[in-house]
Homo-oligomer: A and B are copies of this chain.
Amino acid sequence: MTSGDCPLCALDAAEALWANDQCFVISAEIAGVGTICRVVWREHIREMSALDAAARGAFMDVVFGVEAVLRTLARPAKINLASLGNLVPHLHWHVIPRYLDDAHFPDAIWAPARREAPARSLKDAVLRAALEAGLGG
């Protein structure tokens, strides 16, 4: 996959929940889990170790900042962090609030569901305000 056919390159960072010059934050609804955030690097890069140390550090500061915001906002039992990119090899981090009664707990959200889960959703407006307060505007 090149940047020409990459769905993350096609996203408009201006519509993100939060953005800086290097990366932006979007939300996604995962069935049986609820709202998660993704932190997407703007440039089409495959691996974290392909970034220089300063860029990596700045990227992870945002990832951990989003984690802190979600811990406060959603009070999860645990946060899961993952950078996979097997289907879309453009650096992006999943920041996933987990709950004892979500569909997959304690397995990863990619494992088969163990149970029906209550609906959980964070509104974009609430997330946007919390990200701006937590990460800076």
Contact = CB atoms under 8 A, between A and B. Distances in A.
Interface string A45-86: 011110001001100110011011001000001111111111
A64 B56 contact: yes
Interface stretch (A11-19, A21-29, A103-111, A120-128): A103-111
Contacts of A110: 107-108, 110-111
A135 to B, nearest CB: 12
Contacts of A49: 64-65, 67-68, 71, 79
A17 B84 CA distance: 24
A84 B81 CA distance: 6
Contacts of A106: 86-87
A85 B106 CA distance: 9
13 contacts: A48-B67, A48-B81, A57-B57, A78-B84, A78-B85, A78-B86, A80-B83, A81-B82, A82-B83, A82-B108, A86-B108, A108-B108, A110-B111
Given A48-B67, A80-B86, A110-B111, 13 more contacts: A46-B78, A47-B79, A49-B67, A56-B60, A80-B84, A81-B82, A81-B83, A81-B84, A82-B82, A82-B83, A86-B108, A87-B106, A107-B110
